[in-house]
C-alpha cells in the first residue's frame, strides 16, 4: 500500500470538516432566504385576503392561494384502534422503522417477517482523536 492509513484517515477528516463547514454556511444562507420567502408569502396572503382573490397572474409568474392541511395524533393507541376498526391501513405510511426492526430481529432470531428484504454492507466509521 502506497499511502499510510494515518494519511488516509487525516485526509478523510479534513474533507469531512470542509464538508461540514460548507453545510453550515449553506444552512445559514438557506435560513436567511427562507425568512425572506416567508415575508413575501405573508404579503401575498394578506393581499389575497383583502381582495378575495385566490390567484394572481403576473408577467413573472402566478401565485395561488391553497389550503395546506397536516394531520397528526397525540394518542397513537386510539388512532391505531380506529385504523383497525375501519380497516383503513392506507392512513398509515408504508415504511419499516429501521432501528426497531433491527432490535426485533436481534431479540427474535427465529422470527423473520415474510417478504422482508435486508441489505447489509460493511461501513467505515472515522472518529477524531
pLDDT value at position 1? 62
Beta bridge partners of 57: 62
Q: Enumerate the domain spans of the chain.
A: 5-107
Say whether 9 sits in a helix, a strand or coil.
helix
pLDDT value at position 2? 74
The 10 Å Cβ neighbour count of residue 38 is 10
Indicate if the pLDDT at residue 3 is higher than 90. no
pLDDT tens digits for range 32-67? 999 999 999 999 999 999 999 999 999 999 999 999
Amino acid at each position: 500500500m502506497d499511502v499510510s492509513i494515518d494519511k488516509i484517515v487525516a485526509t478523510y477528516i479534513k474533507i469531512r470538516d470542509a464538508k461540514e463547514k460548507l453545510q453550515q454556511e449553506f444552512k445559514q444562507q438557506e435560513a436567511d432566504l427562507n425568512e425572506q420567502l416567508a415575508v413575501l408569502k405573508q404579503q401575498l396572503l394578506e393581499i389575497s385576503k383583502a381582495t378575495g382573490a385566490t390567484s394572481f397572474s403576473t408577467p413573472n409568474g402566478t401565485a395561488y392561494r391553497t389550503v395546506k392541511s397536516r394531520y397528526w395524533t397525540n394518542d397513537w393507541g386510539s388512532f391505531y384502534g380506529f385504523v383497525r376498526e375501519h380497516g383503513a391501513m392506507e392512513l398509515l405510511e408504508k415504511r419499516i422503522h429501521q432501528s426497531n426492526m433491527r432490535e426485533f430481529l436481534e431479540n427474535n432470531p427465529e422470527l423473520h417477517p415474510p417478504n422482508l428484504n435486508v441489505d447489509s454492507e460493511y461501513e467505515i466509521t472515522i472518529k477524531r482523536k
